[in-house]
Amino acid sequence: MSGTLSPIDKAKFVAAKRAVDYVEDGMKVGLGTGSTAAWMVKCLGEMVRNDGLKITGVATSTRTAELARQVGVPIVTLDEAKWLDLTIDGTDEYDHNLNLIKGGGAALLMEKIVATASDQMIVIADLSKQVETLGAFPLPVEVIPFGWQTTKALIEETLVNLDVLGRTASLRMNGASPCITDEGNYILDLHLRRIGNPRQLSLVMNQIPGVVENGLFIDICDVVVIGNGDGSVEVRDINNGTVEHEQIDVQETDNLFVDIAD
């Protein structure tokens, strides 16, 4: 096992493996985007193939949809599903109130829509994503391409009056071209360093013309499953006020530990 997964990948895997315990037969499940969420999708695929699990997935990106189909998880649109039992997704940061920064994978808009259309959101992460105060990770803001430089200037001007340490925004690039989301939009990364009032910032950002959505997930996450490199996990349920610690048995399979991209 130690030769197969690095400690960080093992931490992501055990978090994903523990999180899929929440999935029950017949559920409609939102499938997140990113390297940690990819482990979760592969775990669900194994349960579908080996255990006969019957679920319906709603993907938060085209690449998650492609992976789900590859491993045998049926995919429908959110309009077809209408409402979901739960969503499992990763995060770029989380604080003690389980508020999140997401969008490092440029899928924040679909991720937020899917998460808020679910009875429960479970976040899978490793300890490196835990922070006292959100903001060290640049906050992604999805904006329409038309007039994006004006939108950027408005955002930076607005930040002057908010409780943040940094006030610059940069256009996310994909090589020499702007990064394009699945919805055809751009991503501005806000380099804030510390966000004193995430709720206020989220509300204000979404009032700026040209802004589609921001990567602050406030009061959306119900449970965070934190994986560690030694195979242990911590499960924090903010609604029940519980913290549980478990050890996950990691069994190597033929298909699970290949083709996971960061």
Is 105 annotated in a binding site? The answer is yes
Q: Can you name the residues that pair with 225 across neighbouring β-strands?
A: 124, 235
d(CA 209, CA 247): 48
232 has binding-site annotation: no
* CA pair distance 195, 200, nearest whole angstrom: 10
34 appears as a binding residue in the annotation: yes
Binding residue per annotation — 89?
A: yes
Flag whether 36 is marked binding: yes
The answer to whether 166 is annotated as binding is: no
Active site residue 111: yes
90 labeled binding residue = yes
Longest CA–CA separation in the chain, Å:
55
According to the annotation, is 262 in a ligand binding site?
no
Angle at 58 (CA atoms; ends 131, 200), nearest 5 degrees: 35
Q: From the candidates 111, 156, 183, 246, give the one annotated as an active-site residue.
A: 111
For residue 218 the two structure tokens come to: 């406030």
52 is in an annotated binding site: no
H helical segments located in 52-147: 62-71, 78-81, 108-116
What is the C-alpha to C-alpha distance for residues 166 and 7, in angstroms, rounded to an integer?
A: 32
- For residues 250 and 257, give the distance between their C-alpha atoms in angstroms, rounded to a whole number: 11
92 is in an annotated binding site: yes
Q: How many residues comprise the chain?
A: 262
Q: Which residues are annotated as a binding site?
A: 33-36, 89-92, 102-105, 129
Question: Which residues have a catalytic role annotated?
Answer: 111
Q: Which residues are annotated as a binding site for substrate?
A: 33-36, 89-92, 102-105, 129
